[in-house]
Amino acid sequence: MKGDKNLWVLVFICVINSMGFGIIVPLLYSYGKKFGLNEQTIGILTASFSVAQFFATPLLGALSDKWGRKPLLAISLFGTCASFLLFATAQSLVILFAARVLDGITGGNISVAQAMISDSSTSEDRAKKFGILSSAFGFGFVLGPALGGLLSKMGMQVPFYFAAGIALIGALCATFILKETKDKKESGVKSTASRKESNRQQATDNRQQKNDKFNFVSLVTALKRPVIGTAVFVGFLLTMGQFIMIIGFQTFSVDKLKISPTQIGLLYAGFGVTGILMQLGVPFITKFISSKAVILSLSTVVCLAAMTATGFTKALLPFAACVFVYGLFNGLRNPMLNAIIADKNDDEEQGEILGVNQSYASLGQTLGPVAAGLITAVSVHAVFFLSAFFILLGFLLTFRLKAKEKQNS
């Protein structure tokens, strides 16, 4: 692990990329108000990113299977840089939407980075590396909002220029420092016996023909795979639950607890830090529990209990305690799901399938806030119970995931 230079380059890229995203998210509403953004259109603006990412991510993942991970990762980061520059120089609401859509279209760097990890890891250390990568994303998201708030004091456009700058640094790192992993895998295949090489090459040609004719039917067909489809759907449900909770978190903090923006920021940062700590502990957890599906099931039931308890809280301390417990065990979700998907996937389709997984996560990020907005008409507490309902569905499906994983072992 210490000598895995590519892993640490990816970690650095993921930190600065997610930090750039985290910088601008808290400023979207206040920055866009001068262009006519209101309470209704901010939701649409936020969703436009996830909708664009939903359709673009599997395509970028499939292209990375064909052309290599490195160029697609670099292109997506350059696209992110361009989107931030559009935001900084925008003169109308249309440009703001164009910028978010562009960032969503080029937002496939998550699945491409995951595919690079999968390329260069074994089943034994894959969950560990996915945990490190998830921690890198989490660290950037925790650091970004605080940094954005500080930079905004120098002018509302400054954080967007800064975000563009660090995205550019990530793109340059991907271009000049990162080593391609796809070619390395293929070169290893070519060193096998000639008969196996011929069969493997034929399979590769077939998949390349599939990639040339890529369409979005794979978003449906991926769900039909016994283990992969179940894991993707579990991820979708749990992401729905998380983003419903985030809306409830914001509304409850302001309307019920009436705490200050600074306190809200610290509470949110604490939520993010707990997830990072758990992700860093993945190597120790997998030493004691070998089944990733079992780890996922245990962590999900704790999240379910924490979110249900959150719905009954009325004061700051019990609310914070429940949210922190949820954040801690929710940190295991992505490392386990990504490792399960990668373990059960062909080498030639890692980028595409991980892209499909990210697409469904983006769909959950889009539908979750919409569902939360509708349920707040009942009560703020109902938002947490709705989140718990989706977590419960995800928990029940982990038993199916465990059964399918055992059948396909």
Among all chains, which residue has been given the structure tokens 């991970």?
69
Percent of the chain with pLDDT over 90: 25
Tell me, what's the pLDDT at 191? 40
**What is the model's pTM?**
0.68
Tell me, what's the pLDDT at 187? 41
Q: Which two tokens stand for residue 311?
A: 């719905």
Distance CA 132, CA 142 (A): 15
Look up residue 260 and give its amino acid. Answer: S
Over residues 320-355, the pLDDT tens digits come to: 999 999 999 999 998 899 888 888 877 667 667 777
Among all chains, which residue has been given the structure tokens 């391609």?
180
Tell me, what's the pLDDT at 47? 74
Whole-angstrom CA distances from 56 to 53, 60, 106, 190, 319 are 5, 6, 7, 31, 37
Distance CA 67, CA 211 (A): 10
Cα torsion for 221, 223, 226, 230, to the nearest 10°?
170
Over residues 239-248, the pLDDT tens digits come to: 999 988 987 8
